[in-house]
Amino acid sequence: MLLPTFLLACSENDETPENRPTAKDRVDIALNKSEAAVNEAAVGFSLKFMNQTLSSGNENAFLSPLSLQMAMSMLTNGAAGQTQAELQNTLGFEGLDVADMNSYNKVMAAALKDVDNTTTIGIANSIWCNKSITFKSEFVNACAEYFDATAQTVDFSSAEAAKTINAWCADKTNNLITKVLDEAPSDLAAALINALYFKGIWADEFDSDLTSKADFTNVDGKVASVDMMVQTNNYRHYEGEKYAAVELPYGNGAFSMVVVLPNEGVDINGCVADVAENWGEIVNSFSYRDVNLWLPKFEVKYEKKLNDDLKALGIVAAFGDQNADFSAMSESPLFVSFVNQHTYIKVDEKGTEAAAVTVVGMLATSAGPEPDPIVFHVTRPFIYIIKEKSTGALLFCGKMMTM
C-alpha cells in the first residue's frame, strides 16, 4: 500500500503601499536549550541538503529544506530501530530525543507566524488514513500534539478520496496548489499533509517604474532579455574571493533573501558547496554598504525526486522493503517508496511568494556606508536563500541558471 506525505506551501502578493501593514519590531524566536540544539542540527541539515541538491547540474532549481525537515520529522515519529536512527542522524538529531525534535517543530510552527507582522505564514497539517489501515494511537497523538494534525479516514478506492484531499490542499494554499493526486491509487494506505504558506513583502520595495529590460547571461552563455528591478539602498553585503552576497530583508527584517552572485568565470555549482560549508562565517561577515542593486524578476516551478539525495545523506533503511521499520506507525509493514518535492517561487517589485510540496510515499511490503555604492548587478546565474534571522532557519534555497 502507498502512503504519501505531502508538505505544501504557497502565498499571494497583493499588498500595495497604501494598505500594507506597518512593520512592528522584530520578535526573535525564543528556544530553550534542547530546542536550540535541535535548531542547530536542523540548520546543519538544511545546508547539507542544499549542497547535495544544488551543487550539480545546469537547470534552475528551487527547494525547501524546511519543508523536507518538517515532513521527515513527522515520518520519524512512526519509525523505530535502525530506520529511526538513520532518520535522526541524517536530520542531525542523533543523541537528541524525538520529544525534543517534536517540541522544536511545534515551537517553530507557532513562532514563525509571529516574528514579523508584515509576513504571512500559515501552517496546517492533516492525516488521511485508508479505512483498511490502522495507525497506532501514539503516532496519531504525536502528530496531533506537535504538528497540530487532524486525522480523517477515507476510502482510497473511491475517486472522491483524491477530490477531498485536493480540495483540502487548495483551501490551505489559497488555490496555488490545487492537485496533489490525479487519483488515489488502490494500494494507498494514508496521506500525511503539511501546508506551509509564505508571503513576504520587501522592507524596501522596488519602484516598478524603474524596472526595464536588461541582458542576463545564462549558464550556457546565451543572453536573455529580462525584466530587471533596480534600486540603490543600504544593504548588508558580503565580499568573498569567489562570490559576493547581499541580504534583502522582508518586512521588519525577521525574514530575508540572501542573493549570492559568483564572480565572473566562477563555477556556480562550486559556489553552492562553498556557501554551504562557510554559511555561518558568511552571515557573520555581512556589513552595511550602499548597494546599487539590479535583480531580475523571476518565477520558477520545479520538482525533484529526492530518493537518491536522501540515501546519499544517510537515509537508507527506510527505503528497503525488507529493512524498513515503521512499527511505531502501524502494525502493517511499511517502507518509503519515494520522496518528491514540488516547489514554486515568484519574485517581483513587491516581494516574494513561495511554495513547497514534499511527498513521502510509503508502500506496504509483501561597515558604515561607502561614499560610492557597491555595484551588485545580477546579470548572470546566481544562488538565493530565504531564511529566518533569529534561528537561522532556511525556508528555501535555489539557483537561477537560465532566464
Residues 151/152/153/157 CA torsion (nearest 10 deg): -120
Q: Domain check: are 10 and 55 in the same one?
A: yes
Number of domains the chain is built from: 2
Mean pLDDT per 10-residue interval, the chain, length 403 residues: 38 51 88 94 96 95 90 91 96 91 94 92 79 87 91 83 81 77 70 79 96 96 97 96 96 96 95 96 95 96 90 94 90 82 88 81 60 88 93 92 93
230 in the same domain as 154: no
Predicted pLDDT of residue 308: 97
CATH number where 11 lies:
3.30.497.10
The 3-state DSSP class for residue 52 equals helix
| Residues 197 and 307 occupy one common structural domain | yes
- Shared domain for 193 and 214, answered yes or no, is no
| pLDDT for position 1 | 36
Give yes or no: residues 33 and 124 share one domain.
yes
Beta-carbon count within 10 A of 322 CB: 8
Q: 220 and 185, same structural domain?
A: no
* Domain match, 168 and 194 both: yes
- pLDDT value of position 16: 53
Amino acid 11: pLDDT: 37
Within 202-333, strands assigned E span: 212-217, 223-239, 243-250, 255-262, 287-296, 298-305
- In terms of phi and psi (left: phi > 0; alpha: psi -120 to 50; beta: otherwise), the region of 251 is left
Q: Distance between CA 42 and CA 88 in Å, rounded?
A: 10
Same-domain status, 195 and 324? yes
Q: What is the pLDDT of residue 185?
A: 64
Do residues 72 and 40 both lie within one domain? yes
Q: Where are the beta strands (DSSP E) in 11-146?
A: 61-63, 120-130
CATH of the domain at 293: 2.30.39.10
Helix (H, G, I), strand (E, B) or coil at 85: helix
Question: Distance between CA atoms of 202 and 11, rounded to whole angstroms?
Answer: 14
pLDDT at 365: 73
Using an 8 Å Cβ cutoff, are 247 and 202 in contact?
A: no
Domain that holds residue 273: 208-298+369-400
- Coil, strand or helix at 132: coil
Is the domain of 212 the same as that of 254?
Answer: yes
Same domain, 222 and 279: yes
**232 and 191 belong to one structural domain:** no
Considering the entire predicted model, what is its pTM?
0.89
